Amino acid sequence: MSENRRIARAAGLVGVLTFLSRIAGLARDVVVGYYFGAGAASDAFFVAFRAPNLLRRFVAEGAMSVALIPVFTDYLTKRPREKADEAISAVATMMTVIVALLTLAGVASAWWLTRLFAPGFTDDPAKFELTVTLTRIVFPYIFLVGMVALAGGILNSVRHFAAPATSPVLLNLAMIAAAVFLSPYFAEPIVGQAYGVLIGGVLQLLLQIPPIMRHGFRLRPLWAPGHDAVQRSLRLMAPMIFGAAVYQINVVIGTIFASMLPGGSVSYLWYSGRVFEFPLGIFSVALGTAALPSFSSQVSRKAFDEMAHSMSFSIRLTNLISVPATIGIAVLALPITSVLFFRGAYSFEDCSQTAAALAAYAVGLWSVSMVRLFAPAFYALGDTQMPVKAAAIAFVANLIVSLALMGPVDSGASAVGQLIAWTTAATAIADLRHVGLALATSVAATTNLLFLVLWLRGRLPQLRLAPLMPSFLRSSVASLAMIPPLLFIQSSVNWETAPLSLRAMALSTAVAVGMGTFAAVALLLGGEEVAAMRRILTERLARMRSR
């Protein structure tokens, strides 16, 4: 089987499982929005969850997974199995110790983390103390999910994607159950959500154990910090801690700034970010996850022409999915938030503010999708420096644009808040509030992508970008064709007063019409990516009929 087919099939599997996870995630956010709305308690929880979630993206899903897969793939491809087991055991022992120490440090420094991530909360002592309490409860999740990511790196190296991709479903289900059944037993109900996070982490870890055993890995505690596999993993991981998670860093910067904006701003960014990540996770993350083992295998065999071909194939598929998703989310932002969140404690004003942030996030969807594809290519090539440099530039861009677009803010009691207030007063060019923060994240993602594209051409000269431009143009034309029917459907419904059943039907119709319009125009325009997608779907339907 060719690597392109391997990538496509693996991306399809991961995409389906991630789709289930995102559905569960949206259901979780709907439940949380229903019970807690967008107020002080939800702001406190989202800030508390943001700190371990950031470290999860840095160490677990970001740096750890991406760094370990090339190393494990190399050992499994070129060395005897017992040597591979020894290498994986040494790496696993080292990573367990690192993540455990990081977890203990996080619990001990919860007060300082809250001041760092939410300087605007210092003016409200009750809100600040609640955030500190929630942070202490939630932070051990970083250890649990770190172990999940370690197991995922091992399994992905042997092209087993099912268990790692399914595990987030368990976290979402645990948090839903906690909101409904556990939270009512606490004086501050949001505390139940924090314990739901821990329960979900335990369930995620338990899910990884059976496939690890089925694949015959013989893992044992092995303290060998000088082992070649450990040193290689650490050399890859250190720069990735910043480079692989720049998008999340920028989101956290947005959280820090949003804590100084009117109440609810943190929640608006959280909910809109969760919706934004739905299409991103279904395809872009799935494709990047599926592509990295193939890229690593190709580099190990020095098949650089083959890698360039796989990269081109992946870029075309990304264009086919992410460009229409960008247009669709931007146009349907208010209908989406109205259907998902407008109930219970979540007001229509909350929906409108969330929708504005969602549209701003959507501007960067294509860029973020491409970064998720280009960064693994660098890591497979053993080049961690260029992604770090691109991430650093993007970080600066996010900082500057955020300060310029969020508008003036009150200084608050903290030194960090006073510095932010002084800077916004000196640099503000627009007063977009939380929407400006979301837009800054999109600008940063685009900046990151531009530099990755420029530098990858030097590292992989076999990759020719000019022939890929028609793919982007075809997807753009087909996506623009969706706008008139989507706007017509959107304007035909009052998204505040119409019954939920009517709103849901109208949104479903808009999605179906948009997808149908895009598919019809895309088929008319043709292209390699459309032909590949047709082959994949035809083969899958044939397999389903034969069962």
Domain hosting 384: range is 3-540
List CB contacts of 86: < 8 A, sequence separation 6 or more.
222, 227
Q: Are 20 and 169 in contact (CB under 8 A)?
A: yes
**Lookup: tokens for 215:** 């694949």
Q: Are 117 and 255 in contact (CB under 8 A)?
A: yes
Percentage of residues in the chain with pLDDT exceeding 70?
A: 80
Q: What's the rounded Cα separation, in Å, for the pair 384 and 371?
A: 14
Q: What's the rounded Cα separation, in Å, for the pair 60 and 54?
A: 10
Helix (H, G, I), strand (E, B) or coil at 431: coil
* Position with higher pLDDT, 75 vs 214: 214
- DSSP structure string for 84-148: HHHHHHHHHHHHHHHHHHHHHHHHHTHHHHHHHH-GGGGG-HHHHHHHHHHHHHHTTHHHHHHHH
CA dihedral 248, 448, 407, 112 (to 10 degrees): 30
Q: What's the rounded Cα separation, in Å, for the pair 20 and 12?
A: 12
217 within domain boundaries: yes
- In this structure, of 294-298, 399-403, 431-435, the range with the lowest mean pLDDT score is 294-298
Angle (deg, nearest 10), helices 434-459 and 246-258: 160
* Position with higher pLDDT, 66 vs 295: 295
| pLDDT higher than 60, residue 59 | no
- In this structure, of 85-99, 328-342, 406-420, 455-469, the range with the lowest mean pLDDT score is 406-420
Q: Identity (one letter) of the amino acid at 416?
A: V
| pLDDT higher than 80, residue 283 | no
Q: Are 546 and 502 in contact (CB under 8 A)?
A: no
Burial class for 241, CB neighbours closer than 10 Å (0-12, 13-18, 19+): middle
Span 27-55, pLDDT tens digits: 887 787 778 776 778 888 888 887 676 66
Q: What's the rounded Cα separation, in Å, for the pair 439 and 159?
A: 36
Q: Are 312 and 471 in contact (CB under 8 A)?
A: no
pLDDT of residue 509: 94
- Dihedrals φ, ψ of 343, to 5°? -170, 165
HEC string of 439-474 equals HHHHHHHHHHHHHHHHHHHHHCCCCCCHHHHHHHHH
547 within domain boundaries: no
pLDDT band at 15 (very low <50, low <70, confident <90, very high): low
545 within domain boundaries: no
List CB contacts of 440: < 8 A, sequence separation 6 or more.
250, 254, 397, 398, 401, 402, 405, 406
Q: Are 144 and 59 in contact (CB under 8 A)?
A: no
243 within domain boundaries: yes
| pLDDT higher than 90, residue 328 | yes
What's the half-sphere exposure (Cβ side, CA atoms, 13 Å) at 356? Answer: 14
Residue appearing with tokens 């799935």: 286
pLDDT of residue 480: 94
292 within domain boundaries: yes
**Lookup: tokens for 172:** 């979402």
Q: What's the rounded Cα separation, in Å, for the pair 5 and 532?
A: 9
Q: How many residues does the chain have?
A: 547
Q: Which of 405, 474, 83, 75 is nearest to 257 (CA)?
A: 405
Q: Which of 69, 452, 118 is nearest to 266 (CA)?
A: 118
* Residue 66: its H or E element: helix 65-78
Q: Which of 57, 56, 38, 116 is nearest to 434 (CA)?
A: 38
CA distances (Å), 449 to each of 238, 246, 358, in order?
21, 11, 20
- In this structure, of 12-26, 100-114, 336-350, 416-430, the range with the lowest mean pLDDT score is 12-26
Q: Identity (one letter) of the amino acid at 511?
A: V
Measured on CA atoms in the order 142, 287, 364, 347, is the torsion positive or negative?
negative
List CB contacts of 134: < 8 A, sequence separation 6 or more.
44, 45, 48, 49, 190, 191, 194
* Position with higher pLDDT, 202 vs 250: 202
What is the chain's alpha carbon radius of gyration, rounded to the nearest angstrom?
23
Span 383-404, pLDDT tens digits: 777 887 888 898 899 889 988 8
CA distances (Å), 60 to each of 142, 149, 163, 441, in order?
8, 5, 15, 22
Largest CA distance in the chain: 67
Which among 156-170, 201-215, 351-365 has the top mean pLDDT?
351-365
Q: Are 333 and 359 in contact (CB under 8 A)?
A: yes
Q: What's the rounded Cα separation, in Å, for the pair 547 and 226?
A: 51
416 within domain boundaries: yes
Q: What's the rounded Cα separation, in Å, for the pair 3 and 435?
A: 41
Burial class for 5, CB neighbours closer than 10 Å (0-12, 13-18, 19+): middle
Span 234-271, pLDDT tens digits: 777 766 665 555 656 666 777 778 878 887 888 888 88
- Number of domains, the chain: 1
Predicted structure pTM score? 0.69
Angle (deg, nearest 10), helices 3-36 and 40-55: 150
* Position with higher pLDDT, 17 vs 447: 447
Q: Are 289 and 68 in contact (CB under 8 A)?
A: no
546 within domain boundaries: no
The DSSP secondary-structure symbol of 281 reads I
Q: Identity (one letter) of the amino acid at 7?
A: I
What's the half-sphere exposure (Cβ side, CA atoms, 13 Å) at 423? Answer: 15
pLDDT of residue 362: 92
